[in-house]
Amino acid sequence: MPNNLDVAMPQPQLEQPHKAGDVEPFPSGRVTYLAPLPLPSPLPPYGPHIGELNDTYMDFGMGLPQVFSWQVTLGGPFTGAFMLGILCPLFAGFMFFLFGDGWDDAIHAINGMFHEMSGYALGTGFIFLFIGLVVWQNHHNKYFEVIPTRFNRQRREVCFMPEGATEPVFVPWESLSAWVVEAQGMTQYGVHRQYGMGVGFYHEDRLISVEFP
């Protein structure tokens, strides 16, 4: 998964065994290990990177579509069309009435604005709806391209699909490491703090991991 942090975060030292709760400091921050063995937390489980979740397994690395994306895709164009086609004519009629032109002039202004703006409202609404659906389709296609990391609860193993590999790699839970990176540095705007999380292991002298900010 791509890491969008501004600077490169340090890689955890997985050559040596770690356990949950170990802290590894570095000059500008620290790495806190969360696995092997789970580290209890009072917070409820949540994450935008969690996909399908059931009693058997959890897909991690490609979250499900959020409700907010549908709200923007569908609600944005319809809201804009409503504002152009309905609210703008009503506002124009209110301004005519406010300046003392009377109800007849106000109603005439509303009718004129409605007939003038209805075409623009429909056209703009359909254009933005088309753009939103194209963006949604592009994001939806990633579900067929990106293979998430699967945590199998019954088998107590994790299935990784390394980039460029043709076969998956199965790792026992006890061999998997998880960590949280905290780093900070000075910028022209003050102290800049960064956080990242990752899970991974060493396979054939190569670090295989899933990291995200």
Number of domains in the chain: 2
Res 130: pLDDT: 92
Res 1: pLDDT: 42
Structure pTM? 0.51
Inside any domain, residue 132 = yes
Q: Are residues 167 and 120 in the same domain?
A: no
Q: Point out the domain boundary residue: 145, 161, 185.
A: 145
Inside any domain, residue 12 = no
Give the 3-state DSSP-derived string for the chain, with helices as H, strands as E and coil as C: CCCCCCCCCCCCCCCCCCCCCCEEEECCEEEEEEECCCCCCCCCCCCCCEEEECCCEEEECCCCCCHHHHHHHHHHHHHHHHHHHHHHHHHHHHHHHHCCCHHHHHHHHHHHHHHHHHHHHHHHHHHHHHHHHHHHHHHHHHHHHCCCEEEECCCCEEEECCCCCCCCEEEEHHHCEEEEEEEEEEECCEEEEEEEEEEEEEECCEEEEEEEC
Q: Are residues 123 and 93 in the same domain?
A: yes
Q: Are residues 72 and 58 in the same domain?
A: no
Q: Are residues 85 and 131 in the same domain?
A: yes
Inside any domain, residue 3 = no
Q: Are residues 52 and 155 in the same domain?
A: yes
Res 4: pLDDT: 44
Query: Residue 203: which domain range?
Result: 23-62+148-212
Q: Point out the domain boundary residue: 125, 145, 165.
A: 145
Query: Would you write out the chain's pLDDT as a tens digit for each of its 213 residues?
Result: 444 445 455 666 655 666 666 777 777 778 777 766 655 556 555 666 777 778 888 887 766 666 777 788 888 889 888 888 888 888 888 888 777 677 777 888 888 888 888 888 888 889 999 998 898 888 777 777 777 888 888 888 888 887 777 888 888 887 888 888 888 787 778 888 888 878 888 777 777 777 776
